[in-house]
Amino acid sequence: MSGIRSVARGTGSYLPEHILTNEELARRIDTSDEWIVQRTGIRQRHIAAEGELTSHLALKAAERALADAGFTASDIDLIVLATATPDQTFPATAVTVQAELGITRGAAFDLQAVCSGFVFGLATADAFLKSGAFERALVIGAETFSRILDWEDRGTCVLFGDGAGALVLEAVQADDAHGAGLLTSHLRSDGRHRSKLFVDGGPSSTGTVGHLRMEGREVFKHAVGMITDVIEDAFAATGESAQSIDWFVPHQANRRIIDASAQKLGIAPAKVVTTVDHHGNTSAASIPLALDLAVRDGRIRRGDLVLLEAMGGGFTWGSALLRW
């Protein structure tokens, strides 16, 4: 490996205009705002409009990230798009975004690790940039999970929302990065747990899209331990600690999981970026959405040490530690 760092240059995000509140859901199914907030911390979520596709959300987030970075689309030669809800079975949603941006060089592909997708995408793009194969990457997390929900299942339909977030990475010689860049990433998967969080359809099995199914208690039981495992790996690899990080940006699945993970790791509540109350669980989009919010409101600044983590269906889970 060469002495190259993948440095964050810009962030962007997009949320559909329509907001679905807990009160509105309570008029459709047997639930209440109190029940949802107590168990998840979620108060509302954004829902894509009819005809609004995952690629539409991803494109808007990508354009905003490019503008924030001060780059044009022609500066990008790699797009890694994490999604579990692509526009089509194929081609990859990433190539649609590539075409809409007017990019005709390099590579674009989708990556599927469900809620861990953005962390997996970040690690993948980092490896390509460090290899010298590409110079600048767009890493995008984009989802329209509302399209795979069973709206009569109160255990799942209250949890998820739609959205997209993007991050621009640039390959920089380590001597010129001034300490910034992705310091380490740690990825895990364990397919023995795939039946605990899955979609009951697919081209090869049913020929249908299917709906999301989840054993909520089982997912919660595994989540905290798995999350803390890969975070401890990140600390061991870098010599950093819960005390030395400036910001913890976790996957926004459930407020109780976020709080329990931070408490177990000894991360101060003031360092935790949370958006689950307003966004719900946006799967691969949740971390870049939260990142963009925290960058734009001034919390995350150049030089800050930022810890990311996620867990998703599969099970998949991972962490990334970067100097902003």
Alpha-carbon distance 281 to 167, whole Å?
Answer: 19
Which is the catalytic residue, given 22, 46, 115, 254?
115
Residue type, 111: L
- Contacts of 160 by beta carbon, 8 Å cutoff, 6+ apart: 45, 145, 146, 149, 212, 280, 281, 282, 283
Residue 148 dihedral angles phi and psi, to the nearest 5°: -120, 15
Tokens of 129: 């940039």
Q: Any catalytic annotation for residue 56?
A: no
Residue 143 dihedral angles phi and psi, to the nearest 5°: -145, 145
Q: How many CA atoms lie within 13 A of 278 on its CB side?
A: 9
In order of 58, 64, 146, 147, 200, the CA distances from 50 in angstroms are 16, 23, 11, 10, 23
Which is the catalytic residue, given 46, 56, 251, 279?
251
Residue 49 dihedral angles phi and psi, to the nearest 5°: -75, 160
Per the CB < 8 A criterion, the answer to whether 310 and 251 are in contact is yes
Task: List the beta bridge partners of residue 137.
Answer: 78, 169
Helix H or strand E encompassing 95: helix 93-101
Q: Any catalytic annotation for residue 115?
A: yes
Name the DSSP class of 48: P
Alpha-carbon distance 115 to 79, whole Å?
Answer: 18
Q: Any catalytic annotation for residue 251?
A: yes
Question: Is omega for the bond preceding 235 within 30 degrees of 0, making it cis?
Answer: no
Residue type, 300: I
Provide the annotated active-site residues.
115, 251, 281
